[in-house]
Chain A
Amino acid sequence: MTRIDQTFAKLKAEGRGGLVTFITAGDPDYDTSLSLLKGLPGAGADIVELGMPFSDPMADGPAIQASSLRALKAGQTMKKTLAMVRDFRTENTSTPIVLMGYYNPIYVYGVDRFVTDASEAGVDGLIIVDMPPEEDEELRPVTAERALNFIRLATPTTDERRLPAVLANTSGFVYYVSIAGITGTAAPDVSSVGAHVARIKAHTDLPIAIGFGVKTPEQVRDLAALAEGVVVGSALVATIGSTLDENERATAETKPKLLGLVEYLSEPLRRRAEAPAI
């Protein structure tokens, strides 16, 4: 069992959905980002998605692209992202970390070396946005050898024909993209998401986390009722962006504002857990 499997088992036992939070490694700088990462579990994050910055994140919206570029400008590299995970693991051995990003920085780092280093650093899973099942043969089998979960995205356009191919060899959880679009834009329509999630559940026993366009505690509450987890990303990195000074450096507001937002968003999930069991 990976940390991700254990976390979803624990959430199930507690009778609540999990909050999956996304921040970009190195945004706005290494030290601030590490401090934010360390603060996330305490603020209510059950799983952390850590973005590996890329210059050309073509499936992401303006907020995540801006955070990626801030991180790169501050000197973030793949080595530093892995170092950040290692550092996080010195004080937290239970919260899963999923690295999320695009294939090129991994390909250039070297697939075998990357999977080994990521696994040794304490990474639990990978989401590679631009690597559909048709192209994952050179990476996915290597992750399986090191017991890293390989998490795939399913989208509103993933039809019945494709769903089995997308779910085969997916592990950890399925990330359901709630809108046909890029991150952080339109808000998901709960009823149509419910139908899609039910469709996926007919094909798999894996937990499902729903993301893209989630900004409010109400959305977290409504979506958590449909699946095992809810992902919040753009809203968090946009908040980081809004606290920076004119030179895009962190301010005294950065950490309290981000962690405050995570607490606020996770509230409906915690309330549900604290409610007496029926």
Chain B
Amino acid sequence: MSTMTDALNTYRSGPDDHGHFGLFGGRYVAETLMPLILDLEQAYNEAKSDPAFQAELDSLNTHYSGRPSPLYFAERLTEHFAGAKIYFKRDELNHTGSHKINNCLGQIQLAKRMGKTRIIAETGAGQHGVAVATVAARFGLPCEIYMGATDIERQKPNVFRMRLLGAKVNPVTSGSGTLKDAMNDALRDWVANVHDTFYIIGTVAGPHPYPAMVRDFQSVIGKETREQMMEREGRLPDTLVACIGGGSNAMGLFHAFLDDRSVKIYGVEAGGHGLDVPNGHAASMTGGEPGVLHGNRTYLLQDDDGQILEGHSISAGLDYPGVGPEHSWLKDSGRVTYVAVTDKEALAAFQLCTKLEGIIPALEPSHALAHVQKIAPQLSKDNLLVMNMCGRGDKDIFAVAEHLSMEM
């Protein structure tokens, strides 16, 4: 096989030099930000090829975050579904309780390398905000987190955590006061403070180089999974399942396997009240159209006039009207299958996992588990299935109690 054929047959070489994944991605930002985005790209490329940068990140992942996260055989769920052999990649066991720390450790290292002295970030459910506040505390940089006023109300424990960690939490009241508005305001802060500020974006979206950079920092999930599965079963998994909001945990798991055609890959979006309910879901790919928002072209929830819709999900972490551009490209190329599950299905999976495995999952991976529940019974017993347990559910118990009409 020639190198040329290899190049054409890989799903792992994107983006191109301009940050495009086929039609998607790019750098749709105001001119004020352009020079900064170009500087960031250059700094990241230099860091990537510096062994000292990677060594420092590996050390932090091991000793601060607790990596590698275990690959756990979910025996009772496997028995219950009576089909595929189900493994969880336990990224909820990381320091701060989700996969978000993987990316934040990488970006704060880069911020320091670039001589930036101030950190900003957006957050929806607060998991990314907590991870940013954590690394900012650890590296002694002042930090401001933009969070929608609506989300502040529904995620009080995380707001308190961020404040304890020394971060300033700025309530965002513009628009509808949720994640997309928080991202707008973080971008506005960045435009006004470009000289000293580093913006830690929490997902595989935003202008190039963020989608590729966040993916690279998260791809430790898939690399570990590969090694751990080889060790446990002597071969690659057959099926991967992960939930998708912006899509960083999914990209992190999928990327190492994209060129292994035998591996069937599913991304699970938030179907909310159902894809047929107008503005009642947060499934950008299975229920949206391509458009341009927050610096990149990707599938978006939008109306006929190109105005962005709010969307809805029981999970604040999936409640984003866009998705990482690499996912949009993987969808159109057919390599990954994207599906949606509803709030109700996710809530049922949340309870099932808690009762059968003694693991309280976040509502985000509960969506992934709800899809596992649909496909596992149809798969053979030797089908090795890995689901990314990307976050723990402690933050969600209040919302779940409300949805189940239970007293706390």
Contacts and interface: CB of A to CB of B under 8 A. Distances in A.
A58 B187 contact: yes
Contacts of B195: 180
Contacts of B57: none
Given A58-B184, A69-B175, A135-B28, A185 B305 contact: no
A56 B293 contact: yes
A188 interface: no
Nearest to A154: B31
Interface stretch (B32-40, B48-56, B69-77, B378-386): B32-40
Interface string A149-190: 000111111110110001000000000010111100110000
Contacts, number: 121
Given A58-B184, A69-B175, A134-B34, A108 B304 contact: yes
Interface string B169-203: 00000110000110110011001101100000000
A185 B180 CA distance: 21
Interface stretch (A14-22, A59-67, A140-148, A232-240): A59-67
A56 B35 contact: no
Contacts of A57: 184
A135 B26 contact: yes
A78 B188 CA distance: 25
Contact of A130 (B30, B289, B307): B30
Interface in A49-103: 53-59, 61-62, 65, 69, 72, 77-78, 102-103
B32 A108 contact: no
B29 A132 contact: yes
Interface in B274-327: 289-295, 297, 300, 302, 304-308
Given A55-B175, A65-B174, A180-B194, A166 B31 contact: yes
B188 A109 contact: no
Interface residues of B, number: 39
Given A62-B174, A108-B291, A132 B31 contact: yes
A122 B275 CA distance: 40
Give the interface SS of chain A, mostly helix, strand, loop or mixed. loop
B18 interface: yes
Nearest to A161: B35
In this complex, the member of B29, B31, B180 whose beta carbon has the largest number of chain A beta carbons within 10 angstroms is B31
B34 A77 contact: no
B215 interface: no
B36 A157 contact: yes
A106 B183 CA distance: 22
Nearest to A60: B188
B306 A181 contact: no
B35 A182 contact: no
A155 B32 contact: yes
A58 B184 CA distance: 5
A157 B35 contact: yes
B306 A105 contact: yes
A117 to B, nearest CB: 14
Closest 6 CB pairs of A and B: A108-B306, A105-B306, A181-B192, A59-B30, A155-B32, A55-B307
Given A65-B175, A104-B302, A158-B34, 14 more contacts: A55-B175, A56-B184, A58-B30, A59-B30, A103-B28, A104-B291, A105-B307, A134-B34, A135-B28, A153-B31, A153-B32, A157-B194, A162-B35, A180-B194
